[in-house]
């Protein structure tokens, strides 16, 4: 095991977008280390496994201020916030209306949760882990909304790291590369596109949600006590190729 099983005992965590994909993997990993975890988001698709012990699920719409305040306000104590809620609409994002929706969920939604959680995180000297992307670093011609939102998440992470430091809150981000999740299933199933992705990736494979989760957990531990404002790629070397 990478971490001691009681590493996060007595810690309370909120994972937005925590019912599927990378968010679900992070929620499960935090719980496996003793944290009490709330996975908040839209209902998981039919056939999704039940959450593991230590993880409870609640409904959350990060584009709705009242929904965010209700979920965050239910916590007496909050040590860890992981922002994983996000959408991608591919070519439709070239429409300004769809572009705005993606920005509102991925970027402004992250800010809504951070702002709502600030007081409780400050009281606990807690931390925030946001979800950026390799598209925080370069563009995507078919996903302008997703790319812009994830670039914004990277800059928001750096800005809030400065703004929240006096409260004792660390703010970092993970930047996943090509990870095998439902969000990338269409690309995994496209032999040509998948081959091109693997050809550029030095490690020559898709990443797993569990591998991203371990890095997110590291940012929530005392081992990262002097880290804030960092955006950490988890991409098998894709960005360096």
Residues classed as catalytic:
146
Length of the chain: 241
End-to-end Cα distance, the chain: 30
> For residue 174, what is the enclosing H or E element?
strand 170-176
For residue 227, give both structure tokens: 């880290």
- In our burial notation (b when 16+ CB lie closer than 10 A, e otherwise), range 99-136 reads bebbbbbbbbbbbbbbebbbebbeebebbbbbbbbbbb
How far is it, in rounded angstroms, from Cα 27 to Cα 11? 13
Q: Which 8-state DSSP code applies to residue 3?
A: S
Burial (0-12, 13-18, 19+ Cβ within 10 Å), 167: middle
Of 86, 161, 176, nearest to 127 by C-alpha is: 161
């Amino acid at each position: 095991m990478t971490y001691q099983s009681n590493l996060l005992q007595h810690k309370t965590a909120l994972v937005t977008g925590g019912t599927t994909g990378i968010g679900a993997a992070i929620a499960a990993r935090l719980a496996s280390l003793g944290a009490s975890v709330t996975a908040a988001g839209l209902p998981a698709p039919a056939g999704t496994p039940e959450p593991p012990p230590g993880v409870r699920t609640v409904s959350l719409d990060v584009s709705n201020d009242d929904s965010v305040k209700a979920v965050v306000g239910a916590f007496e104590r909050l040590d860890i916030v992981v922002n994983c809620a996000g959408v991608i609409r591919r070519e439709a994002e070239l429409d300004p209306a769809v572009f705005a929706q993606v920005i509102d969920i991925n970027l402004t939604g992250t800010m809504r949760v951070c702002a709502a959680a600030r007081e409780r995180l400050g009281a606990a000297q807690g931390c925030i882990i946001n979800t950026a992307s390799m598209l925080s670093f370069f563009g995507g011609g078919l996903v302008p909304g997703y790319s812009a939102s994830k670039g914004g998440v990277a800059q928001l992470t750096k800005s809030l790291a400065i703004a929240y430091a006096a409260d004792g809150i660390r703010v970092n981000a993970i930047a996943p590369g090509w990870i095998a999740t439902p969000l990338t299933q269409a690309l995994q199933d496209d032999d040509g596109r998948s081959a091109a992705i693997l050809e550029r990736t030095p490690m020559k494979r898709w990443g797993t949600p569990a591998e991203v989760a371990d890095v997110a957990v590291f940012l929530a531990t005392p081992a990262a006590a002097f880290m804030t404002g960092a955006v950490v790629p988890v991409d098998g070397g894709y960005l360096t190729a």
